[in-house]
Structure 1
């Protein structure tokens, strides 16, 4: 069954449809740039929609729906990584304004999906000028969490920890963790889609308008393992060898042990078997691509 997504709105003309935007950013992030922060604030002012509230992580808490309503916020600009975009969208559920994700992290997968590969100020200027499209996005729901971009499941998610160590502590420290990640990828019990005979070091679940796609990463040869390690350390695990396993509204994953997960870049675990279902965000997102 094809999932239907509604509430699509198009804006035209040069008058901004917003008057009271709020901005979320993280000034402790490695990708934070004060000059870009200033450009975002200036872009709002130039459009006649000066920033009405700022939430600067980690000093400030993420706003909830009540806080946004109390300040009459009509647009939430989130200039952070994918994981914080997920937390921001989840935290303000019940607020009726849209969220504009901007590239402010390492992968920026949701921003690229909605806007293409463009700088944050350019995306914001376009959204304020002629709006683009406003609509919910497809999501993946489990018993524990909701993902707006991807769920990666399986022992190969250990590489995500190596990537974070490299980002925060450098290559030397990351190299000390890489052998353990390699051991997990090659020898730990894999994960499989229920009803399938093949187990994989990781399965990537992606929400689409046709359902959830499940892709198993392939590591049958030394070259495959090397390519996966480089793909994970470089940021986008989907650059490694993989094959399509299934597309369905519901995917059940199985393993002989607790399943390690990465929800939109944030690590977690879930018991096996684990059910993942297609859904749609309660919040509208703005796309400019």
Structure 2
């Protein structure tokens, strides 16, 4: 069990609560609650120990890192809602507090292979955003921590840079096109695709002026950029993306910088998760 106690939805009492839940079920559990800078090393050590199950109480970005370390043949993971968005845990376990999600997963869960996306050797289980909207991520983080002035400064910086570069892209066998940005959603959270779809939900963010830009920026700061009216989605298994300079991106909430040419592809076997039957997810 790896708990990011610095994450917004966790707290310092989480390790003791986890120990009690597992003890009640007769499980032997090793709990690691590292400092933020040691989180990756803790995850790596946990996977290297070869456990039957790896429980991750953190945000979507930490779950993404755990999934990369485990791969399709490593430990089964239990992604608990310990971050801000918690899109993956909510899709798998429903809108439950992490304590309830852990209890029901251990009691009722079954291993299930989870697909996702891959770009430049990195995987994502929730979503990827490529292009200028990724520059809004620092502003969103500042807003999340109540740093209003810093959020405003970063939002202005993102606004100035928004039209600095256009992406060229081709989705599957479709003709090449241009756009301000691209987003890719995994089927487990997509509203346009069934959960068992063998594809990503791809959307070009088509901006025609300041009004569209402000709309997208507003939704990006709130964390629900999919609600912006400039987004239109299609199913896609493989996309080629290129630009005149390195491409800013967000993978499951983590800001990264991609090369000026990248391939985004659907992968059916990213990691195994302890999943609930569909009938129990809405509880």
When the two structures are superposed, what TM-score results if normalisation uses the length of structure 1? 0.81
**For 2:255 and 2:143, how far apart are their aligned partners in 1?**
16
Q: 2:156 aligns to what?
A: 179
After superposition, the C-alpha distances for 1:233-261 in whole angstroms (9 at most, x for unaligned) are 22233232243354222111232332111
2:127 corresponding residue in structure 1: 150
Closer/same/farther in 2, CA of residues 262 and 126 from structure 1, 3 Å limit: same
Corresponding residue number in structure 2 for 1:275? 263
1:46 is aligned to 2:29: no
User: In the TM superposition, what is the alpha-carbon distance from 1:127 to its structure 2 partner?
Assistant: 0.9
Q: Report how far residue 77 of structure 1 moved.
A: 0.7
The answer to whether residue 178 in structure 2 is matched with residue 199 in structure 1 is: yes
Aligned positions of 1:124-135 closer than 5 A? 124-131=102-109, 133-135=110-112
Worse overlay, 200-209 or 258-267 = 200-209
Q: TM-score, normalised by structure 2?
A: 0.82
Q: Is the 8 A contact 2:4 2:58 kept in 1?
A: yes
Q: CA separation of 1:67/1:117 partners in 2, compared to 1, >3 Å: closer, same or farther?
A: closer
Change (3 A) 1:26 1:199: same
Question: How many equivalent pairs are there?
Answer: 263
**Distance change (3 Å), C-alpha of 1:94 and 1:69:** farther
Give me the whole-angstrom Cα distance separating, in 2, the residues matched to 1:245 and 1:42: 44
Q: Any unmatched runs of 5+ in structure 1?
A: 1-22
Name the residue aligned to 2:81. Answer: 103
- Alpha-carbon spacing, 1:172–1:255, altered in 2? closer, same or farther (3 Å): same
Q: 1:89 aligns with which of 63, 67, 75?
A: 67
- Asked whether the 8 Å contact 1:231–1:237 carries over to 2, the reply is yes
In structure 1, what is the Cα distance between the partners aligned to 2:4 and 2:68?
Answer: 17
Aligned CA RMSD, in angstroms, stands at 2.5
Tell me the residue number matched to 1:3.
none
The alpha-carbon distance between structure 1 residues 188 and 123, as it changes in their structure 2 partners (threshold 3 A), is same
The separation in 2 between residues aligned to 1:27 and 1:129, in whole angstroms, is: 24
Q: Look up the SS of the partner of 1:152 in the other structure.
A: strand
Distance 1:192 1:106, change over 3 A: farther
Partner residue of 2:194? Answer: none
For the pair 1:34 / 2:12, whether they are aligned, the reply is yes
* 1:234 pairs with 2:222: yes
1:193-246 residue CA offsets vs partner (Å, 9 max, x unmatched): 325565333211123323122112243354433332222222233232243354
User: Corresponding residue for 2:193?
Assistant: none
Q: Secondary structure at the match of 1:135?
A: strand
Tell me, yes or no, if the aligned pair for 1:62 and 1:88 is still in contact at 8 Å: no
For 1:95 and 1:274, locate their aligned partners in 2 and report how far apart those are by CA, in whole Å: 26
Question: In structure 2, do the counterparts of structure 1 residues 69 and 190 end up closer, same or farther at CA, with 3 Å as the change threshold?
Answer: closer
Post-superposition offset of 1:152: 0.4
1:140 aligns with 2:117: yes
Cα separation, 2, equivalents of 1:210 and 1:222: 36
Looking at structure 1, the residues matched to 72 and 177 of structure 2 have their Cα atoms a distance apart, in angstroms, of 41
* SS of alignment partner, residue 45 of structure 1: helix
How far apart in 1 are the matches of 2:92 and 2:168? 30
